[in-house]
Amino acid sequence: MKRAVLPREVFGFCANREGDAATRAERGELSSMGIRSHRQIRHARWKQAGLALVLLLLLLTLAGCHGREERAGFEVPAEFDTTREHTLTFWAKNDSNNTQKQIYQKAIRDFQALYPNVKVQLQAYTDYGTIYNDVITNISTDTTPNVCITYPDHIATYLTGNNVVVPLDDLFADERYGFGGSELKFEGPAQDEVVPEFLEECAFAGHHYAIPYMRSTEALYVNRTYVEALGYELPDVLTWDFVWEVAEAATAKNPDGTYAVNGQETMIPFIYKSTDNMMIQMLRQRGAGYSTDAGEILIFNDDTREILKTIAGHAKKGGAFSTFKKDGYPANFLNAGQCIFAVDSTAGATWMGSDAPLVDIAEEKLVRFETAVRPVPQYDPEHPQMISQGPSICVFNKADPQEVLASWLFAQYMLTNDVQIAYSETEGYVPVTVRAQQDPDYLDYLSRAGEDSAVHYAVKLDAARLLMEHTGDTFTTPVFNGSTSLRDAAGQLIESVNTSVKRKQTVDDAFIDKLFADTTSLYRLDQISGNTAANGPSDLGPLPGGSVALIAALVGVWLLLGIYTLRGWRKSKKSVK
């Protein structure tokens, strides 16, 4: 019988497989489990390459942790190049007031008519918190706006970046484009025409990082009709004791359970809108600690403890005191005859009173009464102290100095009389320049209080006069990285006490000790205590020796892995041959 002959290709294939295996065995590439496949070898080498890549990324991360490349500081150009076009972004808050937005839009149109090469894009917000959060987010992506209406506390946090916000001192003093500069195409104020107290509020860490835009303070809006019905005469400056006494008197009820003073089932005699300001002003008036300029936290002291116990006592007695966060907007209770003392910003005056143009309750709930405007309650009425507040304008740094200069010109334009007077008339704001305050048009506006319940609403104009008459009695709190958290914590102390009273909890020393500890933890005040004032990014200096050694070792490991991977790749190429 003839033997079957297999095709040559079969023997060739088998021979090639055996020969390949033998060759690999000679090269040490046979494992104890048998022959390694091409796939296994490729997989192992991919793992090596992947490890090298991971180590490289780790190295880059460690290098980045020490700090990123610093943006160059801004230097004022010798000349503004009007042949170059710029598009600026302007972030602003308009208090949900469409008139304010229209004023921004008109200011932009007028500015663009003067500088046709500059276009300004407005992005309107309804609250400063959102602006703050958006700026923080955009710092990391280098997409901050050019010009922003904000607060110094917020700017202090922005400064933790590298040259993010432009220090304005050199721009102030520039003869051509600074305050009252010779090359300005508009009539702006000289530096000494900006109210000194307001301009000083924009200075910290040795520089001015903003210019004031509008200013307000807090006011005590009083239902004079009810105060007099309770048998009291309203003084020009009220003390805390007077307010507490009248508030408790207003909690008296009729036999049917309604309140005697208003005949209604609801009465909260004293409501405070911003409890952070309440605590800050009470501490300031008592000469008690809040914080140092360097960021040392001083608020957890015996004066704060006594203030909280006093508030708890009055909140407990018939509900004589409450807050906006707990019960709602003070103006709504005031206008409904359900509140006697309502503390809110002078910029909120158009919501206060029976004839307020922005009344936010149903007409059938509105109660007729005489509204009086007074400074916030004081411990020493002979030496009143009240907080200064209101928006400022900052300019963000960009790679192009011409773009920054255009931004500064627009920011400065917002201090012209037309803009200042128009915006101040929308609320109880006060212009931030002496030039605007003394302008005949503004003086005429103030003199016409009560002519109507819109532009010349008497309560609004009384609120504006209050700040103008007490500018020298205003103060601001220190600005540093973390001052926003401290401000929030100050208000939370009062809010926590008020809420606990409503829940029938006892507010004693043990309660306050725990409250201090919880507030410190919640707002991370132990992490910012002793922090230096906002002075921009800290110079981290050279890397420590240990860090240098670690990075050098990682570089060496990475190089060795690279050599090993390269040798493996060359061997695989030879094996293929």
Cβ burial of 122 (10 Å; 0-12, 13-18, 19+) is: middle
What residue spans define the domains of the chain? 8-67+546-576
Q: Give 207's strand partners.
A: 204
Which amino acid makes up residue 438? Q
pLDDT at 74: 93
**Mean pLDDT, range 348-375, rounded to an integer:** 96
pLDDT at 505: 96
What CA–CA distance (Å, rounded) separates 395 from 54? 40
Residue 61, pLDDT above cutoff 70: no
Q: What percent of the chain has pLDDT over 70?
A: 79
pLDDT band at 94 (very low <50, low <70, confident <90, very high): confident
Whether 124 contacts 104, CB under 8 Å: yes
pLDDT at 485: 95
pLDDT band at 541 (very low <50, low <70, confident <90, very high): very low
Kindly write down the DSSP assignment for every residue of 119-172, as one continuous string: EEEEEEES-HHHHHHHHHHHHTTT---SEEEE-HHHHHHHTTSSS-B---HHHH
Mind listing the pLDDT tens digit for each residue in 265-278? 999 999 999 999 99
Supply 507's token pair.
Answer: 């507010």
Mind listing the pLDDT tens digit for each residue in 259-307? 999 999 999 999 999 999 999 999 999 999 999 999 999 999 999 999 9
pLDDT at 562: 64
Residue 551, pLDDT above cutoff 80: no
- Give me the half-sphere count of Cα atoms (radius 13 Å) on the Cβ side of residue 449: 13
The mean-pLDDT minimum among 13-27, 65-79, 495-509 falls in: 13-27
Which amino acid makes up residue 344? D
Whether 453 contacts 355, CB under 8 Å: yes
What CA–CA distance (Å, rounded) separates 19 from 451? 108
Q: Is 234 helix (H, G, I), strand (E, B) or coil?
A: coil
**Mean pLDDT, range 226-242, rounded to an integer:** 98
Identify the CA nearest to 160 among candidates 547, 540, 523, 541: 540
Whether 238 contacts 377, CB under 8 Å: yes
Mean of per-residue pLDDT scores for the chain: 86
**Mean pLDDT, range 390-404, rounded to an integer:** 97
Instruction: Please report which residue ranges of 193-270 form alpha helices under DSSP H.
Output: 196-200, 224-229, 240-249
Residue 574, pLDDT above cutoff 70: no
pTM metric for this prediction: 0.80
pLDDT at 547: 46
Percentages of the chain per state (helix, strand, coil), in multiples of 5: 50, 15, 40
pLDDT at 544: 47
Mind listing the pLDDT tens digit for each residue in 313-359? 999 988 999 999 999 999 999 999 999 999 999 999 999 999 999 99
Q: Angle at CA 465, nearest 5°, toward 461 and 470?
A: 155
pLDDT at 73: 87
